[in-house]
Amino acid sequence: MNRRHFLATLAALPLSRAVAQSTPQSAGQSTGQSAARSVAQSAVPLKAHVFGQLPAPGRIRRVFAAGPPAAVLAHVLAPDRLLGWPMQVPPEARAFLAPQVRDCPFLGRLSGRGSTIPLEKLLALEPDLILDTGTVDAATLSSAENVHERTGLPYVLIPGRLSDSPWQLAETGRLLGAPERGAELAREAERLLAEARGAGRRGGARAPRVYVARGPDGLETVMAGSLNAESLDLAGGENVATGPGGGVARVSFEQVAAWAPEVVITQDASFFAWARQDSLWQKLPALRAGRFHLAPSLPFGWLDGPPGVNRLVGLPWLVSRLHGAPVGEDGPGRVRSFHLKFYGFAPERPAFERLLAGS
């Protein structure tokens, strides 16, 4: 083999590397899979995992949120203590946020090797504690411990299932020194959950079969039992996507047609607009029957993205879309009052009418 042949052989390698790299990188999927496991282990007692010594609740002034769900949690409980957002908050979402958090900077997130904030920058922010919420398993616990050991900052990890949100709000409120606010929001969360469960049960003998369309082409979905599909389970819908794997998976359109869902929901506005005029999607009975709904995603997703307490607002909406029954007062008014209660701010009513248009 001469030099040229050798180099050309070398040149063939980037492809193999690219494929090898892209295979295990399904970070979203693996998170979802561990989420599916955690859903299965629902009997585990609820407990905040604390690494390090927490300051007295009254002395917590600066909270760093490790990821988007934690940021939403800290924001609803103690907006003045949130140091910044771990995710990019687009301008249209900021318009729905209270002035004191609207201009909070983007800081980056902490999630093991996927972290986007350097630990030095984290130290420079001088937080009193790091708040994290989501899946609790060996990986997230060891990652939390690692950050605590390297920075000396107290780290709190709160289990993040939607059905446990009353407990999350009360417990985190207590830890952050806002117990009354925590208790008040916990009661409200309890009410929303109970309402959703009750309506789900009343909805009839059989739960409607639902397909959750994600991604720009609508052919990504959340598998039954995963953390991302929690809202659907709570609202009494039957997720059609069952099978191997958990979290997010890709499916074929023929599989969607074979499942024959009665309702299709999505949170992707561009997919929603496209599918409404696409001849293929229009062949699905659910779409022909007008049972295709777009969940709003401002300021945070109603179904997912992030999987935090922001999903509570989506529950009554989902119940009404699944079971056809109107839930209490009018939509925009109800959503606005949720915003006032949880986010401490709400734009005028027309903004909510626009938000709900098409949903």
* Interacting residue ranges for other proteins, rule: CB under 8 A: 1, 4-5, 7-12, 14-16, 18-19, 21-23, 25-29, 31-32, 67-68, 87-88, 109, 111, 114, 116, 214-217, 219-220, 223, 228, 241-245, 247-255, 257-258, 267, 270-271, 273-274, 279-280, 283, 301, 304-307
Nearer to other proteins, 221 or 320 (CB): 221
CB of 291 to other proteins, least distance (A): 18
Query: Residue 307: is the preceding peptide bond cis (ω within 30°)?
Result: no
Complete DSSP assignment for 16-56 = HHHHHHHTTT-HHHHHHHHHHHHHHTTTSPP--EEESPPPP
Residue 106 CB, nearest approach to other proteins (Å): 10
Tokens representing 278 are: 């696409």
Distance CA 340, CA 320 (A): 21
Nearer to other proteins, 68 or 127 (CB): 68
Peptide bond preceding 99 in cis form (omega within 30 of 0): no
Q: Measured between alpha carbons, how far is 320 from 318 in angstroms, rounded to an integer? A: 5
Helix (H) or strand (E) holding 232: helix 230-234
**Which uninterrupted H or E stretch holds 210?**
strand 209-213
CB of 245 to other proteins, least distance (A): 6
Q: Which is nearer to other proteins, 22 or 42 (CB)?
A: 22
In the complex, least distance from residue 324 CB atom to other proteins, rounded to whole angstroms: 25
Please say which residue, 16 or 42, places its beta carbon nearer to other proteins: 16
Closest distance to other proteins from the beta carbon of 185 (Å): 22
| Of 53 and 88, CB closest to other proteins | 88
